[in-house]
Amino acid sequence: MTPVFSSELLLALLREGAASPVERCGILRGEGARIVRADATANVAPDPARHFEIDPAALLAAHRDARGGGAGIAGWYHTHPGGRPDPSPTDAAQAAADGMLWLIVGHRTARLWRAVADGAVHGRFDPVAFTVELPNRVEKKCLAVHMEDGERTVSFRPSRIAPL
């Protein structure tokens, strides 16, 4: 299934990433292929300027909510302040090969990854094409979403452009 995001959700995450000098993080919540929300959590990493760790209490609460009928946990998001929207070696070392989605925001760009065994990036991640629903159209096979300066223009890069 191709993950589906609303443009509003992606724009909110791009703004969050652009506004913070430390790594922000949270939980992607979904219903089927649709990512319906991104729950921001505290970053409890000892060095949040360079690493992220989702607050365990927030993670447990999300699991309880999902078991109670709320949106499921589709994956995670975090920002790379001043960095690219690509997984770092640290991300790879911390990721389980569990098929979860990782949305990474950096340089005003968001990219989606899946944590897998023997991934193309650092042996742990494969890029994931996704769909973005806008008010007047749908953009399919996006590999990245970029927010221009001024936060008014969002551009899409279709998957026919080669990944890293």
Q: What pLDDT, on the 0 to 100 scale, is given for residue 152?
A: 55
Q: Report pLDDT digits (tens) over 63-99.
A: 999 999 999 999 999 999 989 999 999 999 999 999 9
Cα-trace Rg, the chain: 15
Average pLDDT over residues 109-128: 97
Residue 163: band (very low, low, confident or very high) from pLDDT cuts 50, 70, 90? very low
pLDDT over 70 percentage in the chain: 90
User: Would you call 148 a catalytic residue per the annotation?
Assistant: no
d(CA 80, CA 14): 11
| Residue 65 CB contacts under 8 Å (≥ 6 apart), including other chains | 71
Is residue 87 within 8 A of residue 60, CB to CB? The reply is no
Catalytic residue (one of 8, 23, 31, 133): 23
| pLDDT tens, position by position, 12-63 | 999 999 889 999 999 999 999 999 999 999 999 999 999 999 999 999 999 9
45, 53, 103, 114, 122 from 97: Cα distances, Å: 21, 17, 15, 8, 12
Alpha carbons 101 and 89: distance in angstroms, whole number: 17
